[in-house]
Structure 1
Amino acid sequence: MIYIILALKSEAQAFVDKFQLGKDKQNDIVSIVISGIGSKKMFEAASEIVKKMNQTDTIVNVGICGASKKYKIGQLLDAKDIKLTCVEHEVNYDKYDVVDMESKGFIKATKDVKNSFIFKIVSDYFEPQKVTKDMAKKLIFENIDEIMEKIS
C-alpha cells in the first residue's frame, strides 16, 4: 500500500480525482489521508499510519510550499534534494529557500520507516494569500504522475 498524506483537502482531492477514489479515499494501491495544517497534526496522522504499515508499504507526504524565485511555480521538489525549512506559520518574506508547515512532523513520525518520501510543489514566492484551493489542487494534480514514478 502507498499511504499519501497531505495537509489540505484541496491537495488530497487531486489524488482522489486522479485515482477515481470513493469516499473512503483508497483502493488496492493508494490510501489518501488528510492530516490538517501544521507539524503537530502531520505527526499525529503519520504516526497512526506508521503503526499499521508493513515493510513493503510506502508513506509519502505531498503538499504545496513557498519558495524563493530560483524555483518555478509548479516545480516538484524532492525533500532529499533541497533545504526544506518547516515553519509553524505562513511566511510572507523571502528569508528561506523552501518552506512548508508539515515536514518536521512527518520526518519525526517516519524516522524508522525505510520507504518514506516528501515531495513539495512550489505554489508561491512567500505570498500564501495568493494560493487558492483550486490552484493547490491543480499544482498537485499536474505532478502526480512524476511523484508516483519516483516512489515506485
Structure 2
Amino acid sequence: MIYIICALKCEAQAFVDKYKLDKSKKNETVTIVVSGVGKQNMQDVASRVVSEMQNDDTILNVGICAGDESFKIGELVDASKHKLTCLDNEISQRGIYTLVDMESDGFLQATKGIKNSYIFKIVSDHFEPQNITKEFAKSLVFNAIDDINRLLKQKAKK
C-alpha cells in the first residue's frame, strides 16, 4: 500500500481525480489522507498512518511549497535532494530561504526509521502565498503525479 498524506484537501483531490477514487480516498494500492496544515497536524496524522503500515508499505508527504527563483513554478522537489525549511506560517520575504513548507518536520518526526518514507513538494510560488488558489494548487499536484510515480519506481530499485 502507498499512503499519501497531503496537508490540503485540494492537494489530495489531485490524487483522488487521477486515480478515480471514491469518497473513501483509497483503492487496493493507494490511500490518500488529509492532515490539515502545520507540523503538528502532519505529525499526528502521519504517526497514526505509520501505526497501520505493513513492512513493505510506502508513506509519502506530497504538497506545495514556496521556493526561491532558482526553482520553476510547478517544479517537483524531492526532499532527499533539497533542504526544506519547515515554518509555522506562510512567508512572503524573499532571500532568506530556498524552499519552505509547513509540514515536513512533522512528517519526518512521525516516520523516523521508516524505510519507504518520502517527501515530494511542488513549488507553487516564489514566496507569494497570497497568489495561490485551491484550483492552482490542485493542478500543480495533479501535473506532478506521473513524475512522483517515476521517482518512486527509481527509489524502489535501489
Range of TM-score over shorter length: over 0.9
Runs of 5+ in structure 1 lacking a partner? Answer: none
1: CA distance, partners of 2:76 / 2:47: 25
User: Size of the alignment, in residue pairs?
Assistant: 152
Q: What aligned pairs does 1:1-152 form with structure 2 within 5 A after superposition?
A: 1-94=1-94, 95-152=96-153
Runs of 5+ in structure 2 lacking a partner? Answer: 154-158
Q: Segments of 4+ in structure 1 off by > 4 A? A: none
1: CA distance, partners of 2:53 / 2:151: 20
Identity of aligned residues (%): 55
2: CA distance, partners of 1:4 / 1:59: 6
Partner of 2:156: none
1: CA distance, partners of 2:24 / 2:149: 20
1: CA distance, partners of 2:26 / 2:151: 20
Letter in 2 for 1:127: E
1:142 aligned counterpart, secondary structure: helix
2:65 aligned counterpart, secondary structure: strand
CA RMSD of aligned residues (A): 0.5
Letter in 2 for 1:133: K
